[in-house]
Amino acid sequence: MTSVADMTVSPRDVERYEEKDFGFWLYLMSDAVIFACLFATYLVMVGNAAGGPTPKDVFELDRAAAETALLLLSSATFGIAAVALSAGERGKVLLWLAVTFLLGAGFIYLEIDEFAGMIAEGAGPQRSGFLSAFFTLVGTHGLHVTVGLCWILVMMGQVYFKGITAPVASRLMRLGLFWHFLDIIWVLIFSVVYLPGLL
Amino acid sequence: MEVKSGIPIERTLKPYLIGLALAVVLTAIPFGLVATGALPRQATLIIIAVFAVAQIIVHLTFFLHIDFKTTPRENLVALAFALVLIFIMVGGSLWIMFDLYHRMMV
């Protein structure tokens, strides 16, 4: 096992990875703009319950708290994987990526359970403007987390089969940006959707 | 065949632990306020908003490692541009829609 710090790298390679990082950063910023539009839509629509369930009727504080805890912890465990990556410890990278995956999967399980429960109670996305906007906003975030979970699996495969090479390390750092970015969006979701809705 | 050309990645545990501790505090307080209803509605909403902004800054600093020294300048420009766009679109949408709403009520 070679530490990343021990490896030699050509300036051209470093430049290429920096270009890719910048491109990925631009994608994240445009994704942030998409989420901002969904938040604006939600805030405009939240009062339009059409005589159906209001936020207070359908949101659960403990579930939102559990989802928040899982996603925040998964952000921290990804950080530990990044620390292991910079030390070149392949086994630890795999272990902490696996922990991150399980925490993220727990989050998705809670969210799907919440959506299924709401739809079963007749509070599906077609019920009112409020619920359409809620499912679009929170569902888009959940879809991103699901894609992130698939990406974690792919990267675990790459770390396992290819080892910690420069391209793999570079991709892992971009996955980290994506994962931490999704946690920021979730902070906004519980601060804009769940907490004011339950107040 | 392994490409053994590395890129310099330096990550230490400390920022992640500081970030996690701050994020837990900044999350627990608003959830606690909503659970107990200790403060009036208006004050709670303001605290939720302030703590959300603070927590986003914590995440950007300690998890995404954005700072004014090591982060490439173009990344910061892209971030600033995205924030301006977000401000215009969210602020503009809410301004127009709620103004319309009040005028329809009259």
pLDDT one-digit tens code per residue, B31-86: 999 999 999 999 999 999 999 999 999 999 999 999 999 899 999 999 999 999 99
Q: Return the pLDDT at A67.
A: 98
- Its pTM stands at 0.92
**Which of A2, A30, A79 minimises the CB distance to B4?**
A2
**A183 contacts B81? CB cut-off 8 A:** no
**Residue of chain A nearest B64, judged by CA positions:** A177
Over range B100-105, report the average pLDDT. 90
Q: Do residues A100 and A89 make contact, with C-beta atoms less than 8 angstroms apart? A: no
**Residue of chain A nearest B90, judged by CA positions:** A40
B37 CB-near residues (< 8 Å, 6+ apart): A199, B44
**B2 contacts A32? CB cut-off 8 A:** no
pLDDT block averages, 10 residues each, chain A of length 199: 57 88 96 97 95 95 97 97 93 97 98 98 96 98 98 97 93 96 98 96
Q: Mutate which of B9, B10, B89 to test chain A, going by most A C-beta atoms within 10 A?
A: B9
Q: Return the pLDDT at A12.
A: 86
pLDDT at B4 over 50: no
pLDDT digits (tens, 9 = 90+) for B13-31: 999 999 999 999 999 999 9
**Which of A14, A80, A169 minimises the CB distance to B16?**
A80
